[in-house]
Homo-oligomer: A and B are copies of this chain.
C-alpha cells in the first residue's frame, strides 16, 4: 500500500541567481496547496548525493521572495557526471519518498535532470542563471536583476566619467554569452557593445565611433564588454593608446550575482514554479519550463537541450543605430 501524499523534491544548482528563492517558494506553496509534501534539498546535486535535505512547510519559505541568492544553497557537482552517482541520487530520492524533482539551474542542471529521468525519476527543470544562456528559453531567472544591477552601477560610473571627460570600459558577466552586455549596453547608452557572438575590432567598432561622436560634441563614453571577449583593463589600455582619451576599466564582478530580485524576476519565477507543480500534478515529467513568445510554457528536456539560441541580432542593430 503506497503512501497517501506524493512528495516533490526541489533543489537549486550551479551559480546562484536572484529569483531562485521566488521559484522555490512557488514550488513549496503551490505543492502544499495541491496536496503534496515538499522536501528541500540543499546544495544542489551534491546535497542529493549526501542526503542533505529537509521537509518544507508554508512557513519555511516566508520572507524569502525578496532575497537574493538561494535559501537552499547551491553548488556545482562534477561527480554527477558518473552514472553510479545518478543511480545513487535516484535511490536517495526513493528512500526519502521523493516522487518527482524540480531542479532550478542552467543547461548543466537540465542534463543532470535528464539523467535522473532516464533512471526513472520524473524531473522538471526551471531555467535559473543570470547569464540568460539557456538555449531553450528567452528568459532565465536572474537575468533581469543582473542587468538592472549592471545598469545601476554604470549609472554611477557615468557620473564620474562625465566629470572627467573620460571613457569607461565596463566588463560584465555572461560566461560565453553576451546577453547581459547587450541589454545593459542599450540601457546604459553605451557607445559600443562587444560580445563573443559577433566579431569586432577595437579600431572600427570603438575608436571610429568615438571619433565620429567626439565631432558631435560627446566627451565621455561607456564601452560595454562581455567577459567572453577579453578583459576590460586590456581593452581600456588599447582604447587609450589609440585615442589619447583618458580611459578606465571597471570589472563589475560578483556584485552582479546578488541583490533583491526585480519585480519581473519574482513574477516569472513564481509562474515557473507554479507551472512545474501543475505538470507534476498531471503526472508529467522530463520537461523544462521555459519562457517563449512572452509566455511561460514547457518543452521536453531533450528537445530543449538540442536547441540553439544566439544573440538577439535585432537588438544588436538597435544598440548600434542609436549609440552615437
Task: Count chain B CB atoms within 10 A of each CB in A74, A144, A159 and give the residue with the most.
Answer: A159
Closest Cβ neighbor of A319 among chain B residues: B270
Task: Count chain B CB atoms within 10 A of each CB in A65, A144, A189, A252 and give the residue with the most.
Answer: A189
Q: Which of B62, B68, B161 is within 8 Å of A159, CB to CB?
A: B68
**Chain B residues, CB < 8 A from A149:** 156
- Asked if A286 is at the interface of the complex by the 8 Å CB criterion, the answer is no
Within 8 A of B (CB), among A117-164: 138, 144, 147-151, 153, 155-164
Within 8 A of B (CB), among A57-74: 57-59, 62-63, 65-70, 73-74
Q: Given contacts A160-B16, A162-B63, is CB(A318)–CB(B270) below 8 Å?
A: yes
Within 8 A of B (CB), among A207-264: 216-218, 248-260, 262-264
| Complex alpha-carbon distance, A159 and B12, angstroms | 14
Closest-CB distance, A127 to chain B (whole angstroms): 15
**Chain B residues, CB < 8 A from A260:** 155
Query: Judging by beta carbons under 8 Å apart, are A165 and B255 in contact?
Result: no
| Complex alpha-carbon distance, A251 and B255, angstroms | 10
Closest Cβ neighbor of A65 among chain B residues: B189
Query: Judging by beta carbons under 8 Å apart, are B184 and A263 in contact?
Result: yes
- For the complex, count residues of A whose C-beta is within 8 A of B: 86
The segment out of A24-32, A80-88, A90-98 that lies at the interface is A24-32
- Asked if A18 is at the interface of the complex by the 8 Å CB criterion, the answer is yes
Within 8 A of B (CB), among A256-301: 256-260, 262-264, 266-267, 270-271, 273-274, 291-295
Closest Cβ neighbor of A292 among chain B residues: B294
**Chain B residues, CB < 8 A from A67:** 159
Query: Judging by beta carbons under 8 Å apart, are A155 and B66 in contact?
Result: yes
Query: Judging by beta carbons under 8 Å apart, are B324 and A33 in contact?
Result: yes
Known: A153-B255, A273-B322. 19 other contacts (CB 8 A): A26-B322, A58-B216, A58-B217, A66-B155, A70-B163, A73-B165, A74-B163, A147-B264, A148-B262, A148-B263, A149-B156, A151-B262, A156-B254, A156-B259, A157-B258, A186-B267, A262-B262, A291-B294, A294-B294
Binding site for B on A (CB under 8 A): 12, 15-16, 18, 25-26, 29-30, 33, 57-59, 62-63, 65-70, 73-75, 138, 144, 147-151, 153, 155-165, 168, 183-184, 186-189, 216-218, 248-260, 262-264, 266-267, 270-271, 273-274, 291-295, 314-315, 318, 321-324
Closest 6 CB pairs of A and B: A294-B294, A68-B159, A156-B258, A159-B258, A69-B159, A16-B163
